[in-house]
Each structure stands twice: as structure tokens, then as C-alpha cells.
Structure 1
Amino acid sequence: MDLREMRVFVAVVEEGSLSAAARRLRLSQPAVSQIAAALERELGTALLVRGATGVRPTPAGTVLAEEARAVLARYEQAIAAVTRDPAADQRPLRLGIPLEAGIDLLAAPLAELSPHTRVEARHLSTSAQLAALRAGELDLGLLRERPDGDDLDAIQVAAEPLGVLLASRFADEVATSEGVRLDKLAGLRWLSFARTDSPAWFDEIVAVLRSHGLRPTTTTAAGQALIPEVKLTSVLSGNVFSLAPADWPQPLPEGVAWLPLAGAPLVRRTWATWQSTSRRRDLGRLIAALDQPRLTTPTT
């Protein structure tokens, strides 16, 4: 088994689909299928359960994927150690954080770095982080959408089902034991972020709202990022709703309620993203730490 086969198998498990793994790796689907089958022959055991909707790993496949990730991470660390710029680790590790988020997601991974590593964090929109990454002004960004192009690499580090913040008088009318159905929000305005901040995520939200019968009329706080205080004030004072995860960081004032969305139709994903040509050893360690399974998700 070589590194290429490990990368292919890990991609298949993470994507849950041979065709999706092929697109991610820029290979043909038959090539990916042949590699997966060859691994099963080599190891003498089934690694994947194939179905009409995709593939999932068998218990042996799960073990192989975990071990392959560890081998690949160690390989990347070794390459980085040999080829890194000796002065790179003397510079601060520059991180981009989503506008409404704290640094919670990075707390545990950062703890695994050398205590001498200096960190600089900036709150930026997804679009601003992408521009800064490509300009060499950030080492790692936490984006709300996966970037296109070969110049950036990315891994998904969080997936948060979103609920809704409502004025309590509306929440009382639409709440059920399973939460609130999106179609029950018809007539309310969505308190949105600017589309230019994260176009793909904005369009995904709008598409989901429309698929549930809403014709989203958006409203934003002119000239301001949608910080928690702005959201809460707007929800409390008007016929609007705002999207938020369950672990909303701010205490809810009297008159505002958070409800889950029935069926979890909106899931906000966060992608750790970096320049594919980076050789920073401390960045490699941070990425390896972020790529481990975690129970926690960002707080906003």
C-alpha cells in the first residue's frame, strides 16, 4: 500500500462517494474504484459497503482510514521539516476567524503547538479571508465555504445545524416539539449577512429558504457586521428572524427565543484553509490537530 492509495481511500471515506472522491482528487471514477478494490484484495477483507446512495466504511475500513490519516499527516510533517523556510516559524502564525466567531474551535489544536509559537488572529469575512490567504497575509483561515482552485487546500473542521432566533411572541405561535418548520417563518424577514461576505453560503441559505416556500426578504444592519448584540436587538424589535447555532454565546434577553429548525435543513460548515505551497512546520502541526475528530463545534 502506497501513499497515493492511502489518499484515495481516505478521500472515498470522507466524501462518502467514489465519484465525489474522484472529483476531489481530479482522478477518473474508474481509477478510484480500481484502487479501492485493489486495497480490498491486498488486505483480504471488505473495506467499503457500496450502496445506491454512496459508500460507507466497514469496521476494517474505518480502522484503515484512521491509520492512513495518521501516516499521511506524519509524511506531510516530515516533508515540511525538510523543506521549510528556517525563518518561517519565527513569524507569527496568522489566523483568520469568521466575523461572528470566537477562537474556540482553535483552542485545543493551538494548545498542541510550541509555547513559543506566536499567534495573530483577525476577524474577517470568508471573502476577505480568501483574498488575504491568496495575498500571503494569512497562514490559515476558517471559511464558511470550501474554496475553489489548486492554490488552496482545505479540510472541513465543523458542521453546525442552525436554529432560529425569534421574538418570543412569534416563537410561541410556531414552536412544536420538534422545533419550528421553515415554512412557518413566511412573512418574516431574514436578518442576513452581506452576500459579498460569503456568496456560496448566502446562496445556499436562500435556496433552502425558497425550497421551503419562503421568498426571503433580507434585512441587514447597514455598515455593521452582524455581531450578536445587533442580531438580538433586531430580532426583538422587528418582524425578523436570524439563524444561529444551538450554543449561541450571548444570553438571550427577555422577549427573544431560540428554536431548533425541524429536520435540520441548514447546516453551517467551517473549512480550515491554507496555501497549498505552505511549508510552515507549526502550520502543519495545527492542521494535523484540526483534522482529528472532535466533539465540539464553533460557538457561533
Structure 2
Amino acid sequence: MERLMEIRELRTFVAVVEAGAMSKAARQLHVSQPALSQTITALERRLGVPLLVRTSTGVQVTDAGTTLLGEARAVLARHDQAVAAMARHTSDGGGVLRVGVPLELPPELLPSALARLPGTRVQARHLSSVAQVAALRAGELDVGLVRERPAGPDLDAVLVVAEDVGVLLAANVAEKLGAPVRLEALAGLEWFAFPRAGSPAWYDELAAILRSHGLDVGPEVPEEQRLIVELKIPAVSAGGAYAFAPPEWPYPLPDTVRWVPLAGRPIVRRTWAVWPAASRRRDVAEFVAALEDHRQTGSGV
């Protein structure tokens, strides 16, 4: 009898489609790219149809893949709902911790915190701050890591990361401007921004800082245009744009791009751990405490 599709396989497939590339999905799922590719290939072989077309720029979904995508999302939503329902019957949450993760977290943050919870299995979802807050209130996440502190008494929050943001520049531009670079010196370059809808407060804070230094913010990025980290490099390397990034940017930089600190440390990016105020789960409390300890010991401050 043919083995049935597994939740893990469906989640992998959805992640690849939503990421648009195998490499990005592998990072999001914390697996190697070859292992992820093998999972997709095995799923295609079992179903007997191609689901994705691999290209030099990413992946494209076939008609069969589009059909599976809708069904997989429905199955995963029902599965996560069932897990959430069962978690309410135990203070330990059944050993599964659902964590919302933004782009560009310090690479050592999550491994350091999860080392304190050896018996806990983590389901990580890469979501914007707004989407994480909505998922927390819908019972779809246990903890979120967001770039703006949510309002309201239904969610608790604690600051876990504060990073002095620097700037990514084309190598020739960085050499011309020197280091550290003053924000004013970026006049004439385009800000490679993210959609405001994903994190309005953080976007507005950044925009206000840029305007106060005489920089043009430019038009807002459409909501449907998700920020793809890999696009920062080609946008910046062409020499007409800049992008913000933390000192420990967890992506390789080509020789054509430099990370440069900003003079006066004008931009600090903060990340809060957020969880339902009514939660009594021990693993949530231990996870948040581990994140706090990580910050207080000097990392991510």
C-alpha cells in the first residue's frame, strides 16, 4: 500500500511555494537544501505528477502543484487547530512550541534559547509582525518575535533583541562614503524598503528617522510585494540603492556589497517576544526567560 502524505511533507511543500525558492525555504525550515529537495522529489514521485518547476531564479508551481497547495493549506490549518486544542489540556503544551519568526534574527538567538528546552519540538513560521499578532490572537502561535510591541491587555511582551542597524551599500559606494557613514550621505540613493503593512510602527519609525536626516522615503512598497532578503543584494550592488541590515546579517555578502555601520547609531531595531497573557504553559515561560537571559548576558543588546 502506498504510504500516505505526511504533515511534514505538506508543510515543506507549502513553505517552498510561499518562499519561491528552495534555498529560502530551507533556511526557514532549518533544514539543508538537499534534504528539502529530496522531500519534494519524493512527494512528486509518490503522487506521480510534477508539483514544481525548478528554474535558475526559483521555483514555479505546476497546475497539479496549485491544486495540492490549496488542499495542503486546508489540511495544515486543521492540523494546527487540532494541536492548539489539545495543547489547552496540558500546561506543557504537549512538547510542541509554535513560534513566529521575522526575517534577519541574530543567528544565535533561537539556538541559545531552545537549548534550555531539550524536550520541546518547535514549529517555526516566518511571518510579518502584523501576521504574527493576528496568529497569536487566533490561537495559531504560542510565541511571536515581532518588530513592534502590540497594544492591548490580551498579549504580554518583553524586549529580547536591540540591534544597531547598519547599511548595505555597493562596494564602490561604500568606499566613496567611508565608514561609519552618516545617514545624510545616503541622499540620492533609493531606500530598499519593506511593505509598511507588515510592521507599520517599525516602518513609520524608520521613515521618520530618514526624513529627519533629509532623505526621501519614496513610495510605499505594495502590501502584496513581500520582502525577499535575497533581493537586497542585487538591488544594492547596482549602486543606486541602500538597505538596512544588522551587524550579524545571516546571509553571505558578495564582493560587490559591503555592510557599513551608521555614524551615531541613529537606528535601533528592536524585537519583542509576545505571547497570550492568559497562557499558563511552562514551555512558553521557559522559552521567553531564555530569550531574556540571552539579551541580559550581552548578546543582541
Same fold (TM over 0.5): yes
Q: Is the 8 A contact 2:91 2:280 kept in 1?
A: no
Shift of residue 91 of structure 1?
A: 5.2
| 2:114 corresponds to which of 99, 110, 125 | 110
Matches within 5 A, 1:74-113: 85-86=89-90, 88-90=92-94, 92-101=96-105, 104-113=108-117
Which one has a bigger Cα radius of gyration? Answer: 1
Distance 2:193 2:230 in 1: 14
Q: Cα deviations across residues 9-62 of structure 1 (Å, max 9, x unaligned)?
A: xxxxxxxxxxxxxxxxxxxxxxxxxxxxxxxxxxxxxxxxxxxxxxxxxxxxxx
| 1:174 corresponds to which of 167, 174, 177 | 177
Q: Is the 8 A contact 2:142 2:276 kept in 1?
A: yes
Counterpart AA for 1:131: A
Identity %: 52
Corresponding position of 1:202:
203
Counterpart AA for 1:133: L
Q: Is the 8 A contact 1:221 1:230 kept in 2?
A: no
Distance 1:111 1:207 in 2: 38
Structure 2's unaligned 5+ residue stretches are: 1-87
Corresponding position of 1:284:
285
Matches within 5 A, 1:32-71: none
**Residues 1:163 and 2:166 are matched in the alignment:** yes
Matches within 5 A, 1:1-300: 85-86=89-90, 88-90=92-94, 92-101=96-105, 104-113=108-117, 115-176=118-179, 179-217=180-218, 225-292=226-293, 293-297=296-300
Shift of residue 150 of structure 1?
A: 0.3
Distance 1:110 1:250 in 2: 22
Counterpart AA for 2:250: P
Counterpart AA for 2:168: L
Distance 1:88 1:209 in 2: 45
Q: Is the 8 A contact 1:112 1:289 kept in 2?
A: yes
Give TM-score scaled by structure 2 length: 0.66
Corresponding position of 1:32:
none
- Residues 1:219 and 1:241: Cα distance change in structure 2 (over 3 Å): farther
Q: CA RMSD in A?
A: 2.2
Give TM-score scaled by structure 1 length: 0.66
Distance 1:102 1:223 in 2: 26
Distance 2:178 2:221 in 1: 25
Q: Cα deviations across residues 83-131 of structure 1 (Å, max 9, x unaligned)?
A: x843652151100000343763121121111x33221110001010010
- Residues 1:104 and 1:219: Cα distance change in structure 2 (over 3 Å): farther
**SS, match of residue 246 in structure 1:** coil
Counterpart AA for 1:241: Y
